[in-house]
Amino acid sequence: MAGQPFRGDEGGLIDRERPIAFTFNGERLQGYAGDTLASALLANGIRLVGRSFKYHRPRGIVSAGAEEPNALVQLAVGARTEPNARATQVELFEGLEAESQNCWPGVGFDVGALNGVFSSLFPAGFYYKTFMWPASLWMTYEHWIRKMAGLGRAPVQPDPDRYEHRFAHCDVLVAGGGPAGLAAALAAARSGARVILADEGADFGGALRGLRATIEGRPAMNWVRAAVAELAAMPDVVLLRRATVAGYYDHNSFVVSERPAEHMAVPAPFQARGRLWSVRAKEAVLATGAIERPLVFGNNDRPGVMLASAAQAYANRFAVRPGSRAVVFTNNDSAYEAALDLARAGVSVAAVIDAREDPGPAARRVREAGIESIPGHAVINVQGGRKLKAAEVMAINGDGTACAGGDWRAIPCDLLAVSGGWNPAVHLFSQSRGKLRFDDRIAALVPGESFQRERSAGAARGTFTLRGCLAEGFRAGAVAARAAGFDKAGEPPVPDCDTQAETPLRPLWVVPLPKHTRLKRFVDLQNDVTAEDVALALREGYDNVEHLKRYTTLGMGTDQGRTSNVSGLGILAGLRGKSIPSLGTTTFRPPYTAIPFGTIAGREIGHHFAPTRRSAMHAWHEQAGASFIPAGLWFRPQVYRRPGEGMMDAIYRETKSVRTTVGMIDVSTLGKIDIQGRDAALFLDRVYTNNFRKLPVGKARYGLMLREDGMVFDDGTTTRIGESRYLMTTTTARAGEVMRHLEYCLQVLWPELDAYAVSVTEEWAAIALAGPASRSVLERVVGGVDVSNEGLPYMGYREGTVAEVPARIFRISFSGELAYEINVPADYGAAVWEAIHTAGRSFDIIPYGTEALSILRIEKGHVVSGELNGRTTADDLGFSAFLSKEKDFIGKRSLAREGLWRPDRKQLVGLIPVDKKTRVPRGAQIVEDPDRETPVPMLGEITSQCYSPNLGHPIALGIVAGGRALHGRTLHALSPVTGERVPVTVTPNVFIDPKGERLRG
Amino acid sequence: MMLIPCPWCGERAQVEFAYGGDATVKRPADPASASDREWHDYVFVRDNPKGPLDELWYHAAGCRRYFRVRRDTVTHAILASTPLPEIT
C-alpha cells in the first residue's frame, strides 16, 4: 500500500488517527476517516477516474459535491453494488471497493476511445440521424450502443438491506445546513418552532467546510459546531445528516432521502440503509447553496481541470493538494481565494488568468502572495491527455467574442482551477413552482416570485458573502417561524465576518477559439456536449431551449446539468443574439439527486407489498393442503390437492363432486353491504335495474347494477332480511367500488332518502354448501329452521343456527346445484366450517376452490369479470328481462340510445370446439374465416374457457357480434399469441341444466 | 401531495381521499324526459376549467363522506371545503 503523496502534513477535517484501506480498480489504497472517495484518490495522486459517455475521453474529478459530472464509479460488488455513485460524495469506509465505469478493458486503455478519434462522425443528434432506419435493425444497434455507452451495472441479486419510510410534520423545514441554513434553523428553533434541518453531507457546515473563513475572529467551523450543538440540545429540532431534500411538492410537502448507512460497507443489524421521509412543513427555508460554473474552452474536460472551489475544498477540508503546479482561470473574485488557499496548502500556483480587464483588489492580494496575475486573458486550450501538462493562454477582446492573438503562451501546470461564476441551487425553489429570475449582477438564475410557503436564503438566492448568508439565514428563519405562528421569533445579531470588497464578474459563457483551430469545448461533461454541438443544433433549427436540450442531450445526464445548464443557455443566447431571460429555462424536476429504488420501496416489498386479507377459515384451508390464489387483497383457496394428486385431477374431482354429491366453498370474500332505512327499498330500486320493492321479507333476488352510461357495473344477490333492511352482496373484485357508488348515490344524488349503507364484509364468514346432498348435510347441523324445499324454497332466506351458532341461511346457488349459503359471525367461521365438514363426511363432502367454482359457473354460463368488462350491456349478456320498465334506475336513460340495441353488438354465447377435444385458447379472437386475406374482421373474443369434466369436453364463453343469431354456426377461435386456431360451434351460454331444475329441487 | 380539509375530520393527506369529479354537474331530475343532448352532457361532458373549480371529494379512508371542495386547478390552492347540504 503506497503512502498518500499529495496529502498535507496537517489540517483538514480528517482524522489522521483512523487510516482507512480501500481499493480502486483493484489497487489497494489508503485514506483517512473524513475523506470522500474523491479526496482519497487525489491524496494518492490518482487523477484519471473514468471515461466519458460518448467519446470515452479520459476524465478526472471536477467538483467536490453533488454536481459532479465525471467521477462516477461503480461501488462494491455483488448484491450491494451501486452504479453511478459520485466519488465526490461517497464517504470513505474500510473495505470500500470502487471501479471506473464506462471503459473497457480499463480506464487507462479504453477501446471506446476510438469514438473520440472519429468524433466528427458523432455530431449532435447522431443517434437520431444514424440509427433510425431501417427500423427493424434498431434492436441490433441498440445492443451495441448500450454496450459501448455502458453506464454502470445494476445489481442482479436481491437487495440484502432494509429501507424505511418515515412521516414527519414540522413548523419549519430548513433544506441545507450551511451557514444560511444553520442560521435559519437557530432563529426558528429559538422561538419554539418544530424544526427539521436536513443536509446532504455527512456533517453540517456546507461550503464552510472547504473554506478558511472566520466568524468573530475564530474559524467559522467553530461557529458551526456551536450552532449544531445548540440545535441538537433542543427537543423539537430534528437534525438529519446525509439527507437530501430531493423533492418539493404541493402544499409544502417534501421528500427527503436519508442515507443512514451509506458510509458503511454493511449496515449495522436492523439499521436501514435508506430512509425516505415524507415531510409536511408549515414553512420552509431553502438554503441549498450555490454550484460553481466551469468555463468552456478547448479540451476543458482533461483530468486536472477542476472547479476552483473544489480545488480549494480539497486543500482546506481534506488537506489534499489536487495538483503540484496550478493555474487558476476565472471571471470573478471567488477563485482568488482558492488560489491563495492552494498556495497555502503547498501547491505552486503559477498564475491567475482573469477574463476581466481589471480584477481590482483581489488581483493585488495574489500578487502580494507572489502569484502572477494575468487580466484580460483566457485559457483557450490545455495540453495533455490523461494528465494535464499546460494551459495555453491568450488575450481576448473586450466582449469576450474573439482572441486578440499575438501573445500566445503555454503555462506548464497539472491543475487548472476554473471558475465561471456561481449558480444558486434553485432546484427546490423551481420544483415548488416559484418563478426564476435572471440576475445580471451574478449572471445566474435566482429565485423570483414564490409560489408556496418558502423563502430562500444565502447563496441559494445569490448572496455569496458569509456575512450576507448569516444575516439572510437569521432573517429567513425568523420570518418562517413567525409565519408558522411563533410571533416572538426574532433575528439574532449577525456576528462579525471578514468580508472583502468584490469586483463584479464578467459573464464568459464560452471562450473563443483562436483563428484556424478546432477544439472540443465541453459544455456538458457528462453527456459530452460541446459548444459546437449547441451551434450545430441551432443551425438545424433547434433554437428553443427545450428542443436544444433533447436534441443535444445537454443537461440530461445523471447530474441533470447542474454544471452545464446555465452555460448552455448563455451560449445559445449569444448565438441567437438574445438575452438569457428571453429564452426561458428548462424545468427543474424532482428528485434533486437520485433516490435509490430500495429507499422508494421502503418496507413495502415481497409479501409486505400490500396487506393480505385472509378469511376466518384460512388456517383450515392451509391444513387441508389448499393452494391459494390472490383475489384483490384476499387469498382464496384455489384447489385442495390430495397427496400425489395432479393439479387438474384435483380440480376436476372437486367439480364433479359438487355435481354428484356435495362440496363446500369459502365465499367470505364476496362484498356484503347492510342497507337500512325507511327508503331502503326505494334506494335499491334506483340502483338496481330490477324491482326490489316487491321482494318479500325472507326472499333473495339476483340484482343487476348499471353505470350511468348504461353498461353493466356489477351483479350479486340481495336479500330482504327485514321490513326495511337488506343485505346486498357484490362480486369480490368490485366490493369497494360498489360501496363508493352507493355512498355517492345516497350522499350526492339522493340525500333526501332515508337509507344508509355499511360494509359488513369482514363481520361475516360465508360458506356455500352445494350439491345434491347439500340439504342432507345442512339438516345435520341446522337448528330452528326447516330447510326442506317447502320450508326454505329456492331464493329463500331464514335465520336460525348452524352448529349452534346464530346463522343467516340463504338458498342461493352459483354452481347451479341445490345449494345454501351460510353466514355466521366471522369469529365462529372456522368452528362452523369444521362442523359442516364433519357432518358432511358420510356424504363424501369435499372442500372446493376457485378453480372448480370457475368451471361450475362456466358450465352454467354465469358472467364474471371477463364478461362484465365495462363495455357490455344487460342485453348483450341476455339480461334484458332484468330491465324494469316501471321505474327509473341508474343507467336507464342511456339505454334509450339506439346504438346500445344494435343487433350486431357483441353478445354473450357459448362455444364448443367442433371436435369436442381441442381446448379453446384463452383470450382468443373469434373470426368467421381465418383464411381470409388480412385484416380478418374480428367478430368477438373468448372471455372464459375450461374443460368441463361433467360434459367431458372443452367449453367456452365468448362475446360475439350478433352472436345470439348465430347459434349452431361454426366460427374460429384464433390465438395470434400461440398460433392456435380452433373451429368452434356457437351455442347458448348455459351448458348444464338450462332449465334450472337442479337448483330448485 | 395536497392537504385536503375534510369538513368532518380536518386536514388530511390526499391519499386518504378519492376524487369525485365536478360538483356542479346535476343529474336531470327526471331522466326519462331529459333530451338526448341533456343526458349526454350529464353523463359524458365535463368542463376542464383553468382556475377555481367546485369538486367532490370522498374521504374513502376516513369518514366515508362526500363533500365539496373549491380548488384552483392551476395552483392547487384549496379555497373552500363544505359539507353537502343535508336533506331530511
3-state SS record for A526-552: CCCEEHHHHHHHHHCCCCCHHHHHHHH
Residue numbers in A near B72 (CB within 8 A): none
Q: Tell me, yes or no, whether B43 lies in a domain.
A: no
Q: Please choose, from the candidates A7, A12, A6, A42, the residue with its C-alpha nearest in 3D space to the C-alpha of residue A24.
A: A42
Looking at chain A, which residue has its C-alpha nearest residue B76?
A250
* B66 closest CB neighbour out of A249, A748, A754: A748
Q: Over A235-263, what HEC string results?
A: CCEEEECCEEEEEEEHHHEEEEEECCCCC
* B76 closest CB neighbour out of A250, A278, A748: A250
Using omega within 30 degrees of 0 as the cis cutoff, is the peptide bond preceding A983 cis?
Answer: no
Distance CA A178, CA A287 (A): 7
Distance CA A695, CA A718 (A): 10
Distance CA A599, CA A260 (A): 11
Q: Does A169 touch chain B (CB under 8 A)?
A: no
For residues A685 and A882, is the Cβ–Cβ distance under 8 A?
no
Task: Please state the pTM of the whole predicted model.
Answer: 0.90
Q: Which residues of A903-922 are buried (b: 16+ CB within 10 A; e: fewer)?
A: eebbbbbbbbbeeeebbbbb
The rounded average pLDDT for each run of 10 residues, N- to C-terminus, in chain A (1001 residues) is 85 95 96 97 95 88 95 88 93 94 70 64 61 56 55 86 96 98 98 98 96 94 98 98 97 97 91 97 98 97 97 98 98 96 97 94 95 96 94 90 84 98 96 94 95 97 96 98 97 89 90 90 94 94 90 88 91 92 85 94 91 96 97 95 97 98 97 97 97 96 97 97 97 93 96 96 97 98 96 97 98 96 98 98 98 97 92 96 96 95 97 97 94 92 97 98 97 93 97 91 77
Domain tally, chain B:
1
* A253 closest CB neighbour out of B1, B27, B85: B1
pLDDT of residue A311: 98
Residue numbers in B near A278 (CB within 8 A): 1
Distance CA A600, CA A275 (A): 8
Q: How many CA atoms lie within 13 A of A238 on its CB side?
A: 20
Query: Residues of B at the A interface (Cβ-Cβ below 8 Å)?
Result: 1-3, 13, 18, 20, 27-28, 30-32, 34, 36, 39, 42-44, 56, 58, 60, 64-66, 75-76, 84-88
With vertex at residue A614, the alpha carbon angle to CA A613 and CA A618, rounded to the nearest 5 degrees, is: 170
* B66 closest CB neighbour out of A280, A433, A743: A743
- Cβ of B32 within 8 Å of Cβ of A744? The answer is no
For residues A754 and A682, is the Cβ–Cβ distance under 8 A?
no
- Cβ of B1 within 8 Å of Cβ of A251? The answer is yes
Give the 3-state secondary structure of residue A606: helix
- Cβ of B85 within 8 Å of Cβ of A751? The answer is yes
Residue numbers in B near A706 (CB within 8 A): none
> Inter-axis angle of helices A334-344 and A361-368, to 10 degrees?
10
Residue numbers in A near B36 (CB within 8 A): 896-897
**A791 min Cα distance to partner chain B (Å):** 40
User: Which pairing describes strands A348-354 and A372-375: parallel, antiparallel, or unpaired?
Assistant: parallel
C-alpha distances in Å from residue A609, one per residue of A259, A299, A630, A633, B14? 22, 50, 13, 11, 20
pLDDT of residue A1: 47
pLDDT of residue A53: 82
User: Which pairing describes strands A272-286 and B78-83: parallel, antiparallel, or unpaired?
Assistant: unpaired
Q: Tell me, yes or no, whether B40 lies in a domain.
A: no
Residue numbers in B near A885 (CB within 8 A): none
CB atoms within 10 A of CB A642: 12
For position B76, which CATH number holds?
3.30.2270.10
Residue numbers in A near B87 (CB within 8 A): 751-752
C-alpha cell at A923: 383470450
- Cβ of A253 within 8 Å of Cβ of B3? The answer is yes
B interface test, pick of A165, A169, A251 with most B CB neighbours within 10 Å:
A251
Q: Does A885 touch chain B (CB under 8 A)?
A: no
Q: Does A708 touch chain B (CB under 8 A)?
A: yes
φ, ψ (nearest 5 deg) of residue A625: 85, 20
> Cell match 467546510: residue?
A209
> Cell match 445548540: residue?
A230
Residue numbers in B near A748 (CB within 8 A): 20, 56, 66, 84
Range of the domain at B77: 1-26+48-88
Q: Does A888 touch chain B (CB under 8 A)?
A: yes
For residues B71 and B17, is the Cβ–Cβ distance under 8 A?
no
- Cβ of A740 within 8 Å of Cβ of B58? The answer is yes
Distance of CA A267 to the CA centre of its chain: 24
DSSP states of A740-781: HHHHHIIIII-TTS--EEEE-GGGEEEEEEESTTHHHHHHHH
**A485 min Cα distance to partner chain B (Å):** 17
* A894 closest CB neighbour out of B13, B43, B85: B43
C-alpha cell at B37: 343532448
Distance CA A864, CA A857 (A): 9
Q: Tell me, yes or no, whether B59 lies in a domain.
A: yes
pLDDT of residue A133: 55
Q: Tell me, yes or no, whether B81 lies in a domain.
A: yes
Q: Tell me, yes or no, whether B12 lies in a domain.
A: yes
Enter the ipTM.
0.97
Distance CA A259, CA A206 (A): 17
Q: Which residues of A501-529 are buried (b: 16+ CB within 10 A; e: fewer)?
A: eebebbbbbbbbbbeeeebbbbbbbbbbb
Residue numbers in B near A896 (CB within 8 A): 36
Distance of CA A850 to the CA centre of its chain: 34
Give the 3-state secondary structure of residue A126: helix
C-alpha cell at A954: 372443452
For residues A415 and A406, is the Cβ–Cβ distance under 8 A?
no
**B77 min Cα distance to partner chain A (Å):** 8
A interface test, pick of B66, B78, B82 with most A CB neighbours within 10 Å:
B66
pLDDT over 90 (residue B85): no
C-alpha distances in Å from residue A441, one per residue of A231, A336, A338, A459? 35, 19, 21, 13
For residues A175 and A181, is the Cβ–Cβ distance under 8 A?
yes
DSSP states of A824-842: EEGGGHHHHHHHHHHHTGG
Q: Tell me, yes or no, whether B33 lies in a domain.
A: no
> Inter-axis angle of helices A545-552 and A531-539, to 10 degrees?
120
> Inter-axis angle of helices A565-576 and A545-552, to 10 degrees?
120
Q: Return the number of CB contacts < 8 Å for A and B.
A: 58
Distance of CA A760 to the CA centre of its chain: 35
> Inter-axis angle of helices A829-839 and A774-781, to 10 degrees?
120
- End-to-end CA distance of chain A, in Å? 90
DSSP states of A380-397: EEEE-SSS--EEEEEEB-
Residue numbers in B near A452 (CB within 8 A): none
- Amino acid making up residue A356: R
- Cβ of B2 within 8 Å of Cβ of A748? The answer is no
For residues A1001 and A789, is the Cβ–Cβ distance under 8 A?
yes
Q: Does A138 touch chain B (CB under 8 A)?
A: no
Q: Tell me, yes or no, whether B21 lies in a domain.
A: yes
Residues 6+ positions from A979 with CB-CB distance below 8 Å? none
User: Which pairing describes strands A195-198 and A237-240: parallel, antiparallel, or unpaired?
Assistant: parallel
Q: Tell me, yes or no, whether B18 lies in a domain.
A: yes
C-alpha cell at B22: 365536478
Bridge partners of A168, per DSSP, are A279
- Cβ of B60 within 8 Å of Cβ of A451? The answer is no
> Inter-axis angle of helices A565-576 and A531-539, to 10 degrees?
50
Q: Please choose, from the candidates A849, A958, A862, the residue with its C-alpha nearest in 3D space to the C-alpha of residue A631.
A: A849
